[in-house]
Structure 1
Amino acid sequence: MTLRSLLRWTAPLLLAASLHAHAETTLRIGFQKSASLLTLQKSSGSLEKKLAPLGVSVKWVEFPAGPQLLEGLNVGAVDVGFVGEAPPIFAQAAGARFVYIGFDPAAPEAEALVVPKDSVVKTVADLKGKKVALNKGSNVHYLLVKALEKQGLKITDIQPVYLPPADARAAFERGAVDAWVIWDPFLAAVEQQSSARLLADGRGLVNNYAYYLAERSFAEKQPHVIQALFEDTQAQATWLKANLKAAAAVIAPLQGLPVEVVEKSLSRYQFGVKPLTAAVAAEQQKIADTFHALGLIPKPIRVADALPGNTKLAEAAR
């Protein structure tokens, strides 16, 4: 075979390979180790198998908490993320470009205010003047506001100490703070391992929804990728809910927690992504309005401005 005939034979193959490489998409998912369902998906490789036929690879990017994840989404480090109620509001107020693409059902028991077992603090009202640790801008920020409000108190009546979960637990256990407002599985861990006493969880105060967010241009251009993501998420959620013990056994070592702690945490969540409804968006708007009234965000925002305008994208969540 001459060089010319060899090139004539291989050129179409090289072109096809080049086009395939160019067409391949990477879905970069921002997640927190505490997000048990995503941790399970990452471990199982189920999403990679689901997306491979579409020419889509997956990159998992870990963040310590929701606010940091939103920063990653805003600077283009990730395409999709999963966070609690409050981070999107702070991010939208800061001008971040993202859209809400789905949500997990309410889980009010999966976040709570806790104190050391021998604390003199017996009720939320007793927190006046006390130091309370929390991750600023996270879902528990709203829980703290509502728990205090129920007792006629404002966040200015306490001393907020803003710390990420690992640092907050250390401060809590050495007595540097009087209380900690935190979410699962960190909540279940401190309850079981440190005998922390629960002052109040989210029941009757907050919904504690969790949201799937996407960088706006990615969401608009790749609705088929988001649809495949949600199909896999729903399949893994169905398995998890039917197999709590087995799921906990897989997730526990990845989160660095005992199996019984993870199982308790899983029991307090209702997994399974759903399309955003008008009622859920309205609840999110209430949180945004509350944060603005308290001066926690500098300007009012409209949650509706961060809802998908892409019909295909809206259908993907269904």
Structure 2
Amino acid sequence: MNKLLKNKLATTAAVLSTLLCSTNVLAAKEVTIGYQGMFNPMKYAIDQKMVEEKTGYEIKWRKFDSGARAITAMAAGAVDMTVAGSSPIASAASNGVDMELVWVMENIADAEALVVKNGSGISSPADLKGKRIAVPFVSTTHFHMLFALEQFGLGEKDVKLINMQPNAIMAAWQRGDIDGAFIWDPALGSIKQDGSVLITSKQLSAWGKPTFDGLISSKTFASENSAFVTEFISVIADVDAQYRDNKETFSPTDPMAVSVAKLAGGEAEGVVEAMSLYEFLDVDTQLSCQWLGCGVEGGATQALQATSEFLLKEKKISALQPDYSVFVNPSYAEALQAQ
């Protein structure tokens, strides 16, 4: 073998070694992402490892019982991205947590509701007075519970609000410790079996205080991993579209329903009804003025502002931010739309 050929082989080997090392570094890059027990298509993507396949990142998924706990983890730097409700997101923004909303997971609509227990003596809003109502504090249902009381002409002192996580709510319901709860699935579906819906978040949103679940990211992480964030939300957009396209024939045996039940908890039979209560938005709707678009005039920004004002009134936060649009970043959805 001549000297020139040896040098070419050595150079080729060095290039291949560098490429392999680069690939290994990319594959080994880690991100920690939080999620909650809402019934949505994202659970299918998690179960089938679609995000890992799309991005090449190693993902550590963390499940949280409430948005408040997810936000606490983000504030502590324990997660890079997480799903949370608009109320804890508003609280985080007001408290100056380094995060931004990058995608609206779902318009909550009828998927969160105030259910009162059969035999509790509650048949109208006025009957709530003196009753024990469970709700996870600083959640979207907490925000809507307080707003509902305001609309009903009741104060927090009129109702015994109890801070409980979803699993604790189901246990307390079975024991007869509470008269009602404002919650989401799978707890919602469980307590509906022995209760009736007094009001849902869809009606309260129509009265001027909308709520949603959102995907937020550490601003630092998102800026340093912008391609990942866009690819991640593209996976969510794809499974959302798959659900919307097959909503009429969606059944408990559908692989998506099985995955959602597996990760969120509950039975696949309950997934079909629960998911039908949400509205999953396509990218064009995401970027409309109703949601991520239009800066300070955008719906998501306005919702965070209104929620924060309500939380301040209820002394759940200490101050407001001058501009909530800085906590809404549509650029990743825009990048997806441009693809």
> TM tier, shorter chain?
0.7 to 0.9
Following the alignment from structure 2 to structure 1, what is the Cα–Cα distance between the partners of residues 101 and 264? 26
| Identity fraction in percent | 24
TM-score (norm 1): 0.88
Is the 2:43–2:259 Cα contact (8 Å) retained in structure 1?
no
Is the 2:39–2:274 Cα contact (8 Å) retained in structure 1?
no
In structure 2, what residue type is equivalent to 1:84?
G
Does 2:213 correspond to 1:210?
Answer: yes
User: Aligned to 1:252, which of 242, 251, 261?
Assistant: 261
Give the superposition deviation at 1:125.
2.1
* Structure 2 unmatched runs, 5+: 2-6
Q: 1:189 to 1:317 in 2, by over 3 A?
A: farther
Q: 1:316 to 1:124 in 2, by over 3 A?
A: farther
Does 2:334 correspond to 1:315?
Answer: yes
Partner residue in 1 for 2:103: 102
Partner residue in 2 for 1:170: 171
> What is the CA deviation profile of residues 218-266 of structure 1, one whole-angstrom value per residue up to 9, with x for unaligned ones?
1112221111111111111111231521232442244332222111101
SS where residue 248 of structure 1 aligns? helix
Give the superposition deviation at 1:172.
2.0
Give the superposition deviation at 1:290.
1.0
Does 2:273 correspond to 1:264?
Answer: yes
TM-score (norm 2): 0.82
* Structure 1 unmatched runs, 5+: none
Give the superposition deviation at 1:131.
1.8
Partner residue in 2 for 1:47: 51
Once superposed, what is the RMSD of the aligned Cα atoms? 2.5
Give the superposition deviation at 1:187.
1.0
Q: 1:258 to 1:22 in 2, by over 3 A?
A: closer
Q: 1:286 to 1:256 in 2, by over 3 A?
A: closer
Give the superposition deviation at 1:65.
1.5
Partner residue in 1 for 2:41: 37
Aligned length: 309
User: Aligned to 2:240, which of 227, 234, 237?
Assistant: 237
Does 2:323 correspond to 1:305?
Answer: no
What are the residue-to-residue correspondences of 1:128-167 with 2, within 5 Å? 128-167=129-168
Q: 1:272 to 1:303 in 2, by over 3 A?
A: same
Give the superposition deviation at 1:10.
5.8
Q: 1:256 to 1:307 in 2, by over 3 A?
A: closer
Give the superposition deviation at 1:177.
1.8
Is the 1:28–1:61 Cα contact (8 Å) retained in structure 2?
yes
Give the superposition deviation at 1:35.
4.4
Does 2:298 correspond to 1:294?
Answer: no
SS where residue 199 of structure 1 aligns? strand
Partner residue in 1 for 2:81: 80
Following the alignment from structure 2 to structure 1, what is the Cα–Cα distance between the partners of residues 144 and 336? 27
Is the 2:89–2:304 Cα contact (8 Å) retained in structure 1?
no
Runs of 4+ with >6 A deviation: 5-9
Partner residue in 2 for 1:126: 127
SS where residue 205 of structure 1 aligns? helix
In structure 1, what residue type is equivalent to 2:167?
A
Is the 1:29–1:61 Cα contact (8 Å) retained in structure 2?
yes
Task: Pick which of 133-142 and 168-177 moved more.
Answer: 168-177
Is the 2:125–2:152 Cα contact (8 Å) retained in structure 1?
yes
Give the superposition deviation at 1:7.
9.0
In structure 1, what residue type is equivalent to 2:312?
H
Does 2:219 correspond to 1:181?
Answer: no
Is the 1:220–1:313 Cα contact (8 Å) retained in structure 2?
no
Q: 1:231 to 1:297 in 2, by over 3 A?
A: same
Give the superposition deviation at 1:312.
4.6
Q: 1:299 to 1:190 in 2, by over 3 A?
A: same
Give the superposition deviation at 1:38.
2.2
> What is the CA deviation profile of residues 88-122 of structure 1, one whole-angstrom value per residue up to 9, with x for unaligned ones?
12222333110111213423211111111121111
SS where residue 82 of structure 1 aligns? strand
Partner residue in 2 for 1:61: 62
Partner residue in 2 for 1:225: 228
Partner residue in 1 for 2:4: none
> What is the CA deviation profile of residues 52-87 of structure 1, one whole-angstrom value per residue up to 9, with x for unaligned ones?
3xxx23221211111111122222222221111111
